[in-house]
Amino acid sequence: MTVRTRTPSPALWPLRIVRSLAIFLFELIKANLRVAIEVLAPGFSMTAGIVRVPTRTRTPLEVVLLANAISLTPGTLTLEVDEQDRVLYVHGLYVSSRSEFLRSIARIEDLVLDITRPRGKDSQ
Per-residue pLDDT tens digits for 56-86: 999 999 999 999 999 998 889 999 999 889 9
- Is residue 79 included in any domain, yes or no? yes
Is residue 121 one of the residues assigned to a domain?
Answer: no
* In-domain check, residue 97: yes
In a domain, 47, yes or no: yes
84 against 2, higher pLDDT: 84
What radius of gyration do the chain's Cα atoms show? 16
Residue 62 in 3-state DSSP?
A: helix
What is the model's pLDDT at position 20? 87
Residue 40, strand partner residues: none
The pTM of this model reads 0.76
**Could you give the number of structural domains in the chain?**
1
- What is d(CA 88, CA 55) in angstroms, rounded to the nearest whole number? 7
Strand-pairing partners, residue 119, are none
Q: Residue 49: inside a domain, yes or no?
A: yes
Residue 40 belongs to domain spanning: 11-116
Q: Is residue 80 in some structural domain?
A: yes
Residue 87: inside a domain: yes
Q: Burial of 91 by CB count in 10 Å (0-12 exposed, 13-18 middle, 19+ buried)?
A: middle
122 lies in a domain? no
